[in-house]
């Protein structure tokens, strides 16, 4: 059984003692002679309910109520008032008091008021528990068995705990950047707040500032006369996800930097300063270093956003995830379209792991959706995927699909003295990195694409090879 704690604030000792004697039998009661001491106590031990006298010495009952509602909005307050004080009672109710009782206090009537108030608290708590349970059960479903993605998940779990830290997510298209951003949000203490995704590349340059920060009344001709809230405000106490952040205009970048530095911003056309709290998570599949070099992206903003930098590997860099993901999508779409598939055949699994996933997880998901829609079952076949034959699949992606026999023939053998595999790896890497750079005229992004690597992974390996 829950024991509720009730604080009674009254300068009349008689009322404090009577409350302790009667209410103290059922509830955990503490009494205070002033508003100040009560507020101090709430800070360390929150109360469920406060019985608050209106006529207090020092901080008045109304001032105390204001302070309680401002700092501890969940605490319910029942005002205790003298008979003729109806104006003040109305003020108190407007300020958020739950109820009031009139002196001299009838203890039986007071108990009814208290029971009603505690009923409200119980209901609120139940709603809160259900809300949290619902959110937990509907968390984004994230599949990641490979070591690389496990590392990413571990990093996210750590950073999610600090709601003030901004996060920059880098990775190719369809690798799961938005899903990772939502994982950061739902694992953070702000998970009940809103998650507001914004695609910066989809908003024209001339309105991006007002979309993000809002505008004041009459900011420009054609503007809504009432002014407009920005997306940043919609994300209060939650997370603002800036997708394709590399496409932000320089003016919007300057405002964003200011906001990241001190939590302050101005609406377009205004001089009033706003201050709010929201976590910023940004993502891009562009090469931000290159944008910084070209002075299209502010270096200071880049460093500020990248407090925590998460690099998401391509799907081909985490081949162990391909089949679990395919199976997950198969179950999801079978449910959605009312189909019964028993699974994925061996030949098809082989083709899936061998395919070059240029569109990464999005491509895999779309392909499985199409297979579920068109396929007859009981298993997903190569034809359902639009892969003609095993030969064709291999031909589509010769580097990854088939560690082909001919290639195997070209491998040096293990002699009776053994084989220096790390050295062989390194010389092979060196050969292909150099070759790809030559073919791409020294353009690292193009060279990375030729090797089916993310730009970041390419850069890391290149540095290791000192090329």
Chain residues that interact with Mg ion, rule: CB under 5 A:
178, 243
Least CB distance from residue 236 to ligand ATP, whole Å?
A: 24
Tokens describing residue 215: 């505008």
Find the part of the chain contacting ligand ATP (CB under 6 A) among 30-38, 137-145, 267-275, 375-383: 137-145
Region of residue 336 (left: phi > 0; alpha: psi -120 to 50; beta: else): alpha
Give yes or no for residue 144 binding ligand ATP (CB under 6 A).
yes
Q: What's CA 97's distance to the chain center, in Å?
A: 35
Least CB distance from residue 418 to ligand ATP, whole Å?
A: 39
Least CB distance from residue 126 to ligand ATP, whole Å?
A: 32
Query: 284: helix, coil or strand?
Result: strand
Among 35, 163, 176, 230, binds ligand ATP (CB under 6 A): 176
Tokens describing residue 282: 């940004």
Give yes or no for residue 171 binding ligand ATP (CB under 6 A).
yes
# of chain residues touching ligand ATP (CB under 6 A)? 17
Asked if residue 257 lies in contact with residue 304, where contact means CB atoms within 8 angstroms, the answer is yes
Among 59, 97, 114, 361, binds ligand ATP (CB under 6 A): 361
Asked if residue 35 lies in contact with residue 43, where contact means CB atoms within 8 angstroms, the answer is no
Least CB distance from residue 361 to Mg ion, whole Å?
A: 11
Main-chain phi, psi angles of 280, to 5 degrees = -105, 125
Burial zone of 307 (CB within 10 Å; 0-12 exposed, 13-18 middle, 19+ buried):
middle
Choose between 203 and 268: whose C-beta lies nearer to Mg ion: 203
Choose between 298 and 365: whose C-beta lies nearer to ligand ATP: 365
Crossing angle of the two packed helices 107-137 and 13-22, in degrees rounded to 10? 60
Find the part of the chain contacting ligand ATP (CB under 6 A) among 88-96, 142-150, 349-357, 447-455: 142-150
Give yes or no for residue 185 binding ligand ATP (CB under 6 A).
no
Asked if residue 270 lies in contact with residue 117, where contact means CB atoms within 8 angstroms, the answer is no
Choose between 18 and 200: whose C-beta lies nearer to Mg ion: 200
Distance, CA of 415 to CA of 433 (rounded, Å): 27
Give yes or no for residue 173 binding ligand ATP (CB under 6 A).
yes
Distance, CA of 183 to CA of 203 (rounded, Å): 24
Among 33, 179, 276, 457, binds ligand ATP (CB under 6 A): 179
Peptide bond into 216 cis (omega under 30): no
Main-chain phi, psi angles of 73, to 5 degrees = -60, -20
Asked if residue 429 lies in contact with residue 461, where contact means CB atoms within 8 angstroms, the answer is yes
| Residue in this structure with the two tokens 């694409």, named with its chain if needed | 449
Give yes or no for residue 365 binding ligand ATP (CB under 6 A).
yes
Among 178, 233, 311, 384, binds ligand ATP (CB under 6 A): 178
Interacting positions 27-66 with ligand ATP (CB under 6 A): none
Least CB distance from residue 156 to Mg ion, whole Å?
A: 16
Least CB distance from residue 203 to ligand ATP, whole Å?
A: 15
Least CB distance from residue 452 to ligand ATP, whole Å?
A: 17
Give yes or no for residue 247 binding ligand ATP (CB under 6 A).
no
Residues near ligand ATP (CB under 6 A): 141-144, 171, 173-179, 285, 325, 361-362, 365
């Amino acid at each position: 059984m829950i024991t509720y704690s009730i604080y009674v604030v009254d300068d009349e000792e008689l009322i404090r003692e009577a409350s302790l004697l009667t209410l103290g039998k059922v509830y955990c009661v503490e009494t205070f002679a002033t508003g100040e001491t009560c507020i101090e106590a709430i800070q360390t031990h929150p109360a469920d309910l406060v019985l608050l006298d209106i006529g207090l010495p020092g901080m008045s009952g109304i001032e105390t109520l204001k302070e309680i509602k401002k700092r501890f909005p969940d605490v319910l307050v029942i005002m205790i008032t003298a008979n003729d004080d109806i104006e003040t009672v109305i003020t108190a109710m407007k300020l958020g008091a739950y109820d009031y009782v009139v002196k001299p206090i009838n203890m039986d009537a007071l108990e009814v008021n208290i029971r009603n108030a505690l009923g409200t608290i119980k209901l609120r708590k139940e709603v809160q528990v259900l809300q949290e349970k619902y959110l937990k059960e509907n968390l984004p479903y994230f599949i990641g068995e490979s070591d690389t993605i496990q590392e990413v998940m571990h990093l996210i779990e750590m950073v999610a705990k600090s709601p003030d830290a901004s996060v920059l997510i880098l990775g190719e298209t369809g690798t799961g950047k938005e899903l990772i951003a939502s994982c950061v949000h739902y694992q953070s203490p702000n998970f009940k707040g809103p998650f507001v995704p914004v695609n910066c590349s989809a908003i024209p340059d001339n309105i991006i500032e007002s979309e993000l920060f809002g505008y004041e009344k009459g900011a420009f001709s054609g503007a809504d006369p009432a002014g407009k809230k920005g997306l940043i405000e919609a994300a209060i106490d939650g997370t603002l996800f800036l997708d394709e952040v590399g496409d932000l205009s320089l003016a919007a970048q300057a405002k964003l930097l200011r906001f990241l530095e001190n939590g302050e911003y101005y609406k377009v056309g205004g001089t009033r300063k706003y201050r709010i709290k929201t976590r910023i998570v940004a993502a891009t599949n562009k090469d931000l270093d290159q944008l910084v070099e070209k002075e299209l992206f502010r270096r200071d903003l880049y460093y500020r956003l990248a407090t925590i930098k998460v690099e998401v590997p391509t799907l081909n860099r985490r081949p162990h995830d391909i089949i679990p993901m395919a199976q997950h999508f198969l179950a999801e779409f079978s449910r959605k379209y009312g189909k019964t598939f028993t699974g994925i055949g061996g030949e098809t699994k082989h083709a899936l792991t061998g395919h070059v996933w240029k569109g990464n997880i999005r491509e895999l998901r779309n392909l499985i959706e199409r297979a579920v829609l068109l396929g007859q079952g009981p298993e997903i076949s190569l034809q359902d995927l639009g892969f003609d034959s095993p030969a064709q699949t291999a031909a589509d992606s010769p580097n990854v699909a088939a560690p082909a026999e001919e290639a195997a023939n070209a491998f040096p053998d293990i002699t009776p003295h053994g084989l220096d595999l790390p050295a062989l790896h390194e010389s092979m890497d060196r050969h292909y990195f150099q070759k790809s750079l030559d073919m791409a005229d020294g353009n690292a992004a193009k060279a990375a694409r030729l090797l089916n690597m993310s730009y970041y992974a390419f850069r890391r390996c290149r540095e290791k090879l000192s090329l």
